Amino acid sequence: MTRVTASLSVSLDGFSSGPHQSEELPFGEGVGERLHRWMFEAGDDHAVEIAANLAPDAFIMGRNMFGPVRGEWADSDWRGWWGTEPPFHSPVFVLTHHPREMLIMEGGTTFTFVTDGIEAALELAVNVSGKHGTVGVAGGASTINQYLAADLIDELRLQIVPIVVGAGDRFTDGLDHFGLAPVAARHHRLATHITYRRLR
Amino acid sequence: MTRVTASLSVSLDGFSSGPHQSEELPFGEGVGERLHRWMFEAGDDHAVEIAANLAPDAFIMGRNMFGPVRGEWADSDWRGWWGTEPPFHSPVFVLTHHPREMLIMEGGTTFTFVTDGIEAALELAVNVSGKHGTVGVAGGASTINQYLAADLIDELRLQIVPIVVGAGDRFTDGLDHFGLAPVAARHHRLATHITYRRLR
């Protein structure tokens, strides 16, 4: 069966972004790069984790992770945060309420905009990943929250960053169950990595 | 120098207790023993962690951890949750706004009620622990929060339990900094143990 994974950097108080995300502040107010220093400043120490995050055969993300544009796409020429050649090199399905034509980027990344919900997006991603493939739910917190609530995540990798954010989006908000258990943990000065897998 | 440690079980969303703690619900509504199953159901797997929690030469705790009585002690005969011989076997300093005479329990535990704040309690605990001793801030979340805010904790051990609690007390509430970094992590199906130490 296709495996569904997710990965998220969270503060000690569980936030993955601060309030008021924007083009200038992709992770919201008061956060900057603090939740991702483990990746930006210590990439060599995290080669395994970074590779795992980019390994899936297809990705799903929320539109807030895709970019700061809200509402109708209209004439937006926003093509994601990642330049002309995004690091995904695979199909990416972007959850949105507003239709938009597929974007074909360099290096094999495509952005397909899905307007009929998380299960439809997952079905599309599973189809391109194949029976032995992996679908990566790339974020943000609210998207991972929805897939966890629907019991659709097989493996969640958290990077617990030793900072307090205080306000913003949490993957746990409103979640009334969590059917995963820790199967691995390792620490680094900039983050503690915990892997959770679905209880069988 | 005397070392100050703290230990706390927290949910994925950072709570150490639910709302409305009472004599019937020591950890508040909706929590039960779920945050402490690692200790109650898998004590053998956690002999090291449990021993570390009980090792300090003196303890400090908030009055909500000591018991469900609020306000004046008056004629309360509450002597803690732990029966006639509590597991501390050391002096315990209980933070409270209301004076009460010291309680002498079996097995070397004493409960001394301190009304002049967290620094005064720490000074008393350091005095009985000695220069090479350890003071344990036993909880709850609000007490650990206050000592963290004052930069008085050298080592914090978190047990991150894979459940979502949703409401209650968090050690991170209102904390605007966290000067500790992870130095150890290990997983168990019932909790992930992370040790944080003060950055030097």
Each residue of A6-19: pLDDT tens digit?
999 999 999 999 99
Q: Give contacts of B167 with chain A, Cβ < 8 Å.
A: none
In the sheet that holds A103-104, the strands lie side by side as A103-104, A110-114, A91-95, A58-62, A134-139, A3-11, A155-161, A191-198, A180-188
Q: What is the ipTM of this complex?
A: 0.90
Each residue of A18-57: pLDDT tens digit?
999 888 998 999 898 999 999 999 999 999 999 999 999 9
| Residue A200 pLDDT greater than 90, yes or no | no
Which residues, including other chains, have CB under 8 Å from residue B74's CB and lie 6 or more apart?
none
pLDDT of residue B199: 83
Q: Give contacts of A178 with chain B, Cβ < 8 Å.
A: 12, 162-164
Is A182's CB within 8 Å of B189's CB?
yes
What backbone torsions phi and psi does residue A186 show, to the nearest 5 degrees?
Answer: -150, 150
Interatomic CA distance for residues A146 and A154, integer angstroms: 14
Q: Give contacts of B174 with chain A, Cβ < 8 Å.
A: 166
Q: Give contacts of A185 with chain B, Cβ < 8 Å.
A: 185-187, 192-194
Question: Would you say A2 and A129 are in contact if contact means Cβ atoms under 8 Å apart?
Answer: yes
User: Which chain B residue has the Cα nearest residue A191?
Assistant: B182
Degrees to nearest 5, angle at CA B171 with B38 and B142: 105
Each residue of A110-122: pLDDT tens digit?
999 999 999 999 9
pLDDT of residue B76: 84
**pTM higher than 0.90 for the full model?**
yes
User: What is the residue-level pLDDT of chain B in tens, covering all 200 positions?
Assistant: 899 999 999 999 999 999 998 889 989 998 989 999 999 999 999 999 999 999 999 999 999 999 988 889 987 899 999 999 999 999 999 999 999 999 999 999 999 999 999 999 999 999 999 989 999 999 999 999 999 999 999 999 999 999 999 999 999 999 999 999 999 999 999 999 999 999 87
Interatomic CA distance for residues A140 and A62, integer angstroms: 6
| Residue A75 pLDDT greater than 90, yes or no | no
Minimum-distance CB partner of A175 among B14, B164, B184: B164
User: If residue B110 lies in a helix (H) or strand (E), which one and from where to where?
Assistant: strand B110-114
Percent of chain A past pLDDT 90, that is, above it, reads 90
pLDDT of residue A110: 98
Task: Give buried/exposed letters for B102-131 (b at 16+ CB in 10 A, else e).
Answer: ebebeeebbbbbbeeebeebbebbbebbee
Question: Per the structure block, which two tokens stand in for B174?
Answer: 């209102």
Structural domain boundaries in chain B: 3-69+83-198
Confidence of residue A1 (pLDDT cuts 50, 70, 90): confident
Fold of the A3-69+84-198 domain: Dihydrofolate Reductase, subunit A (3.40.430)
Mean pLDDT lowest among A79-83, A123-127, B72-76, B105-109:
B72-76
Residue B50: strand, helix, or coil: helix
Task: Estimate the crossing angle of helix B141-149 against helix B118-129, to 10 degrees.
Answer: 90
CATH architecture classification, B3-69+83-198: 3-Layer(aba) Sandwich (3.40)
Which of A9, A10, A11, A13 should one mutate to test binding to chain B, selecting the residue with the greatest count of B CBs within 10 A?
A13
